[in-house]
Amino acid sequence: MGRQDGPLHQWVRDLSVLADPIRVRILCVLRNEELGVGEIARTLGVPQSTASRHLKPLHEAGLVLRRGSGTRALHAAAGVPAAGASTSAAAQLWAMAADRAANDPAVEQDRERLRQVLAERRTDSVGFFGRVAGDWDAMRRTLFGDHFMDEALCSLVPHDWVVADLGCGTGEVAERLAPLVRKVVLVDREPAMLDGARKRLKGSTNCEFRKGDLLDLPGRAGEWDAAVAMLVLHHIEQPALALRQAARCLKPGGTMLVVDLAPHDHEEFRHRMGHAHLGFSQADLAGYAAAAGLRLVRWHRLRPDTHSRGPGLFAGVLAKPAKA
């Protein structure tokens, strides 16, 4: 019987350390920032138990270093070894993985979420810096909650607008818009969704419900001042055609807001959730808009919610040309 602790077996053990993409993602986020296990979990969008489970072999291989900070433990990645350096097999594999992961969509999304985790660290009065008094942000959250600001800013929408909620679902967007505008037109192809929206908005008198497909909108030419497509476009095989239909129904100079998924690699979403597209880049949306006779005037990534696990989102604002 061969020895079980020889170089070959050690090499196989080292290979197994980086056999899971989550471990590579952990190393990528820990390269430049020390994080607690809870912060790692929120950055990757995984349960804390999962982050802890994957940290253990990384520690044992010397790829992640741990230090105490008060009552907490902080973790950091060991440096990527220089080319030609004499290092362990695990470290050599990490060097190769770091290079391959540089432009990976999941790693890019982790970077976006990490920025938000670090921002929350700076402003959380009961977090890392132990600020318990004199912190205005925390005091304001305690007194008024988290949602008043977004709702108040929506009041900037012109009160005389007619706005279409395309692919309205159960009416969550329309519920926010209805108190602020003259009329909201809710469009969805699924009767069950429209029934849910009617129940949600039963107290509103300025909502109109229309059954229809976004590729053949039940709207008149130039009827709407603005339209919203909230997490809808990635379900549509022909996004340019959907935008062309929206453009037809917008008034000259009208505006459309598209909120959707940024590019990601969750291929399973196609089968589990009926996604036709794995997100859209700024160039993608600009191309679809141009094909529809619209112009992309603004595109930006939305601040990620570090307590959620889905792909990152963007907001894009499209404009229909005014009459000459």
pTM of the model: 0.67
Q: How many whole angstroms separate alpha carbon 103 and alpha carbon 99?
A: 9
- One digit per residue, the tens of pLDDT, for the chain of length 324 reads 445 566 666 667 777 777 788 888 998 889 878 888 888 999 998 888 898 999 998 888 888 888 876 557 889 888 655 444 446 677 777 777 777 777 888 888 888 889 888 887 766 544 443 433 345 566 567 777 777 777 788 888 999 999 999 999 999 999 999 999 999 999 999 999 999 999 999 999 999 999 999 999 999 999 999 999 999 999 999 999 999 999 999 999 999 999 999 999 888 888 888 889 999 999 999 999 999 999 999 999 998 887 778 888 999 999 999 975
As a whole number of angstroms, the distance between CA 180 and CA 159 comes to: 6
Q: Are residues 108 and 168 in the same domain?
A: no
Last residue of a domain, one of 81, 113, 142: 142
- Within-domain flag for 2: no
| Whether residue 308 sits in one domain with residue 192 | yes
Beta strands in 23-155 (DSSP E): 64-69, 72-77
> Could you tell me which residues come within 8 angstroms of residue 203 by beta carbon, excluding any fewer than 6 positions away?
none
What does the DSSP assignment read for 193-207?
HHHHHHHHTTT-SSE
Residue 49 shares a structural domain with residue 180: no
Residue 170 shares a structural domain with residue 194? yes
CATH number at residue 232: 3.40.50.150
Same-domain pairing of 156 and 133: no
Q: List Cβ neighbours of 233 (8 Å cut-off, separation of 6 or more).
A: 239, 242, 258, 260, 277, 280
CA atoms within 13 A on the CB side of 257: 15
* 254 and 188 in a common domain: yes
Q: Which of 110, 142, 174 is the last residue of a domain?
A: 142
| Alpha carbons 1 and 111: distance in angstroms, whole number | 48
Residue 222 sits in which domain range? 146-319
**46-55 contacts: CB < 8 A, separation 24 or more?**
46/22, 46/309, 50/22, 51/26, 54/20, 54/22, 54/23, 54/26, 55/26
Is residue 324 assigned to a domain? no
Closest CA to 155 of 186, 171, 178: 178
Contact by Cβ (8 Å): 254, 207: no
| Residue 138 counted as domain residue | yes
* Boundary (domain end) residue, out of 111, 126, 142: 142
Per the structure, the count of domains in the chain is 2
* Phi and psi torsions of 248, nearest 5°: -60, -40
Q: Phi first, then psi: what are they for 229, rounded to 5°?
A: -120, 100
Q: Are residues 128 and 166 in the same domain?
A: no
The answer to whether residues 247 and 224 touch, using CB atoms and an 8 Å cutoff, is no
Q: Indicate if 152 and 86 belong to the same structural domain.
A: no
The one-letter amino acid at 49 = S
